């Protein structure tokens, strides 16, 4: 144990000396997928004109967040709940994200479903080509998130964070 500490100490000292003697420059790696990032970063810019749909719209949490978001000025144009084709909070509820993309043309989706349903909801939004996807579910199993990550990798989607509590137009 003592030998390991000495070795680490010497490595730190040598590292400091090396950095002091030689000029240091910072280099960033350039990846081949940089174009995909530049193409999707604009989707993170939201405002009053951003059209938003909520997946799991008729649920308790989505309803509460939708009311608050509407009060703050977010342009919520409708929601998605499988098997329903009705209205909720005066907004249309459609049975699939693909149908919502065709009829409502949203720029973003907020996903308010249980953790075990979130990966399927995220994949549905990716397949429908929604530009910005915000998933609020907590405790999503890691293997499910890895599957979503793998799925989004081939669709060239930017995945930014695993938790975000909502969006407000401003």
For the chain, the structural domain boundaries read: 34-154
Cα 133 from Cα 160, distance rounded (Å): 9
pTM of the model: 0.67
Cα 95 from Cα 56, distance rounded (Å): 10
Six-digit token string for 3: 């030998």
Superfamily classification of domain 34-154 = NAD(P)-binding Rossmann-like Domain (3.40.50.720)
pLDDT in tens, the chain (170 residues): 555 555 555 555 554 544 444 444 444 444 444 555 666 666 667 778 899 999 999 999 999 999 999 999 899 999 999 998 899 999 999 999 999 999 999 999 999 999 889 889 998 998 898 888 888 888 888 888 888 877 776 666 655 454 444 443 33
């Amino acid at each position: 144990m003592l030998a390991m500490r000495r070795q680490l100490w010497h490595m730190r000292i040598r590292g400091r000396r090396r950095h002091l003697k030689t000029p240091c420059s910072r280099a960033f790696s350039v990846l081949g997928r940089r174009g995909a990032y530049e193409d999707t970063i604009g989707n993170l810019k939201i405002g009053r004109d951003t059209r938003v749909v909520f997946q799991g719209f008729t649920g308790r949490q989505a309803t509460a967040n939708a009311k608050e978001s509407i009060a703050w000025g977010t342009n919520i144009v409708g929601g998605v709940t499988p098997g329903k084709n009705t209205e909720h909070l005066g907004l249309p509820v459609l049975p699939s994200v693909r149908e919502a993309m065709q009829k409502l043309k949203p720029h973003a989706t907020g996903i308010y479903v249980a953790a075990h349903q979130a990966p399927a909801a995220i994949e549905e939004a990716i397949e429908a080509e929604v530009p910005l996807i915000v998933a609020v579910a907590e405790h999503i199993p890691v293997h499910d998130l890895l599957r979503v990550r793998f799925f989004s990798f081939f669709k060239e989607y930017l995945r930014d964070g695993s938790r975000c509590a909502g969006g407000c137009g401003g």
